[in-house]
Structure 1
Amino acid sequence: MSGRRPRRHVEEEHVNHERWLVSYSDMITVLMALFIVLFAISQVDQEKYIALRDSLAAGFMDTTTSPSVLEGTSGNLDGATVHKDTTPADGSAGMVSADSGLGLQAADPMTPTTQTPQESVDPAVLAAAQAEAAHLQDLEARIMQALAANGLDSAVRMRIDERGLVLGLVADDVFFAPARAELTDTANRVLDVAAPLLVGIGENISVEGHANVIPVSGRYATNWELSSDRATQVLRHLVEVDGMPGSRIMAVGFGDTRPLVAGDTPEALAANRRVDLVVLSNAPEQVRALLPSLTQGG
């Protein structure tokens, strides 16, 4: 007998032909997680959408002649109402009229309206707007009375808009000479008369400088610098001479981008060379949106 041990047979490793199932199951798991996430974020919170719809109905409102653009329907956001498309082929139902007011929306011109903005707004908002309008009108009357007592009532144009009470210092060359920012004697008198009333209120004041379309030369590179300097000169007089707290007043220049009168006629050139003092209302936006309709002619 030989001393050699018998040679053990080693079988070859079996090839796993089902290894692809591991990658396939991983892919299926990822896809399932993706669809779960998509399903979760697609769920509509009806209460939040209804609250959004109601807030838009109160906020986006034509404050001149038309009710809210969302008034008269629950809208598609209630999850139940189905609306039939009645838009004309020419798309005229979607046209709105232009309006220079801030944030104003025009209603469908093809649909007659029977409600006023006051009738379609929340009573609490309307009451707050009426109180704010009365406050601004009272301030306007007191300033105009003080100016009239000094023979200066014709030197200021006043109006109430969505921001508050606007005092327009516009009177040909009464306040500013062409391409100049120095205050005239009349401008100083107007500011000194109006300042005690402006200092005594709690609202902030925005001093907004403007220029006409005539290009400037010399000291100022553009009308932006000219309008900004005019606003700054008014601000400095109110703060340094009339005691306006610096924390309540700001100055900004708009150049010739916001004219009162369009064109380059002598009247337009004189009217657009101005500074506006804006008494910024502290009321919420929904309340301020109603101010123009409550103070027409104010």
Structure 2
Amino acid sequence: MSAPKRRRKHEEEEHVNHERWLISYSDMITVLMALFIVLFAISQVDQEKYIALRDSLAAGFMDTTTSPSVLDGTSGNLDGATVHKDTTPADGSAGMVSADNGLGLQAADPMNPQVKDPEQQLDPAVLAAAQAEAQHLQEIKERIAQALVANGLDGTVRFRIDERGLVLGLVADDVFFAPARAELTDTARLVLDVASPALVGLGENISVEGHANVIPVSGRYPTNWELSADRATQVLRHLVEVDGMPGHRIMSVGFGDTRPLVDGSDEASLAANRRVDLVVLSAAPEQVRALVPSLTAGA
């Protein structure tokens, strides 16, 4: 007797859901709708509360009765009714300084041929102060020069006026110092003694500045820095210890060969750069001092 045959189990094919994308799509639409609702909600401003907040902040930052507040503006949201004019110059001069630049000068305008004479643009007060300072420095120069001439020392000091003040150049050749030495000669002491009454009676400070030429020094000084500084110090000490210059009004410094007065390696240039300068430091404001050299040119 044969065994009964097993009936083969029929497996049905799984049904594919073709509408599954609708779930993701509906989720996305829901999120977008929530986003737009939030955006709409936060875009609505309570006009009365906004105005109250603006006024309170304005009152807290400054007194709006004396000057406009930085919070002043339109009375509501941007409504397109407020128009701000473009103040940018049409000639492309935006950003150019049109004030006095600290010197009473108008900004240079290369497109304006009417501006010819710079003195026409000067602040009258600045120009008057510069003229007064130039005259003051000239008077000091003339007083010292006349005293030197009276003592037979004409030509021993070279005068010039720059933006710092009046400069008395003591050429450091054999008249004032021996080569490679800082001791004052008898002529140097006499020049300082003759010039000191005009210098001591001033209210300005005095800077004693030693300079050297490019020739390397030998002997007691390792470099020209030490030589120039020692010469300046010797001049300062004589003015203070012998001629009565107040110590709080005078200073000394050595520049070595870093600030030559003239260029060149000839004997005249080397002698001119080997010097000690006495500088009467002008107490005038910087914008006034900047004009003084042009007012004393050729004097």
What range is the shorter-chain TM-score in? 0.5 to 0.7
Q: C-alpha offsets along residues 86-125 of structure 1, whole Å, 9 cap, x if unaligned?
A: 9xxxxxxxxxxxxxxxxxxxxxxxx997213x32211000
Q: Provide the aligned C-alpha RMSD in A.
A: 2.9
Q: CA deviation at 1:219?
A: 1.1
In structure 2, relative to structure 1, the CA distance for the partners of 1:239 and 1:113 (3 Å cut) is same
Q: CA deviation at 1:138?
A: 0.7
Query: Aligned match of 1:70 in 87, 101, 107?
Result: 107
Question: Who is 2:181 aligned against?
Answer: 180
In structure 2, relative to structure 1, the CA distance for the partners of 1:53 and 1:225 (3 Å cut) is farther
In structure 2, relative to structure 1, the CA distance for the partners of 1:290 and 1:239 (3 Å cut) is same
Question: Who is 1:54 aligned against?
Answer: 99
Q: CA deviation at 1:153?
A: 1.8
Q: CA deviation at 1:221?
A: 1.3
- Paired with 1:113 and 1:258, the residues of 2 have a C-alpha distance of 36
In structure 2, relative to structure 1, the CA distance for the partners of 1:57 and 1:275 (3 Å cut) is same
Question: Who is 2:163 aligned against?
Answer: 162
In structure 2, relative to structure 1, the CA distance for the partners of 1:245 and 1:132 (3 Å cut) is same
Given that 2:176 and 2:185 are in contact with CA atoms closer than 8 Å, whether structure 1 keeps it comes out as yes
Question: Who is 2:147 aligned against?
Answer: 146
Aligned length, in residue pairs: 210
**Superposition pairs of residues 1-298 of structure 1, within 5 angstroms:** 54-56=99-101, 58=103, 70-72=107-109, 114-116=116-118, 118-170=119-171, 172-298=173-299
- Paired with 1:292 and 1:133, the residues of 2 have a C-alpha distance of 8
In structure 2, relative to structure 1, the CA distance for the partners of 1:127 and 1:213 (3 Å cut) is same
In structure 2, relative to structure 1, the CA distance for the partners of 1:50 and 1:57 (3 Å cut) is farther
Q: CA deviation at 1:183?
A: 0.7
Q: CA deviation at 1:243?
A: 0.2
In structure 2, relative to structure 1, the CA distance for the partners of 1:127 and 1:69 (3 Å cut) is closer
Q: CA deviation at 1:154?
A: 0.7
* Secondary structure in structure 1 of the residue aligned to 2:127: helix
**What amino acid sits opposite 2:269 in the alignment?**
A
Q: C-alpha offsets along residues 120-162 of structure 1, whole Å, 9 cap, x if unaligned?
A: 2110000000011111101111110000000112100001110
In structure 2, relative to structure 1, the CA distance for the partners of 1:225 and 1:286 (3 Å cut) is same
Q: Which moved more, 1:49-58 or 1:159-168?
A: 49-58
**What amino acid sits opposite 1:255 in the alignment?**
G
Q: CA deviation at 1:170?
A: 1.5
- Paired with 2:287 and 2:96, the residues of 1 have a C-alpha distance of 15
Same amino acid, percent of matched pairs: 72
Q: Which runs of 5+ in 1 are unaligned?
A: 1-17, 19-45, 60-67, 74-85, 87-110
- Paired with 1:238 and 1:52, the residues of 2 have a C-alpha distance of 46
Given that 1:57 and 1:69 are in contact with CA atoms closer than 8 Å, whether structure 2 keeps it comes out as no
- Paired with 2:96 and 2:244, the residues of 1 have a C-alpha distance of 45
Given that 2:102 and 2:287 are in contact with CA atoms closer than 8 Å, whether structure 1 keeps it comes out as no
In structure 2, relative to structure 1, the CA distance for the partners of 1:262 and 1:51 (3 Å cut) is closer
Q: CA deviation at 1:269?
A: 1.4
Q: C-alpha offsets along residues 212-231 of structure 1, whole Å, 9 cap, x if unaligned?
A: 11111221111111110110
In structure 2, relative to structure 1, the CA distance for the partners of 1:112 and 1:237 (3 Å cut) is farther
Q: CA deviation at 1:57?
A: 5.8
**What amino acid sits opposite 1:114 in the alignment?**
K
Question: Who is 1:4 aligned against?
Answer: none
**What amino acid sits opposite 1:155 in the alignment?**
T
**What amino acid sits opposite 1:267 in the alignment?**
A
- Paired with 2:264 and 2:115, the residues of 1 have a C-alpha distance of 35
- Paired with 2:127 and 2:295, the residues of 1 have a C-alpha distance of 10
In structure 2, relative to structure 1, the CA distance for the partners of 1:51 and 1:211 (3 Å cut) is same
**What amino acid sits opposite 2:107 in the alignment?**
L
- Paired with 1:138 and 1:261, the residues of 2 have a C-alpha distance of 26
Q: C-alpha offsets along residues 185-236 of structure 1, whole Å, 9 cap, x if unaligned?
A: 1110000000011000100000000001111122111111111011000000
In structure 2, relative to structure 1, the CA distance for the partners of 1:247 and 1:215 (3 Å cut) is same
**What amino acid sits opposite 1:71 in the alignment?**
A
In structure 2, relative to structure 1, the CA distance for the partners of 1:287 and 1:120 (3 Å cut) is same
In structure 2, relative to structure 1, the CA distance for the partners of 1:188 and 1:69 (3 Å cut) is farther
Q: Which runs of 5+ in 2 are unaligned?
A: 1-30, 32-87, 89-93
Larger radius of gyration: 2
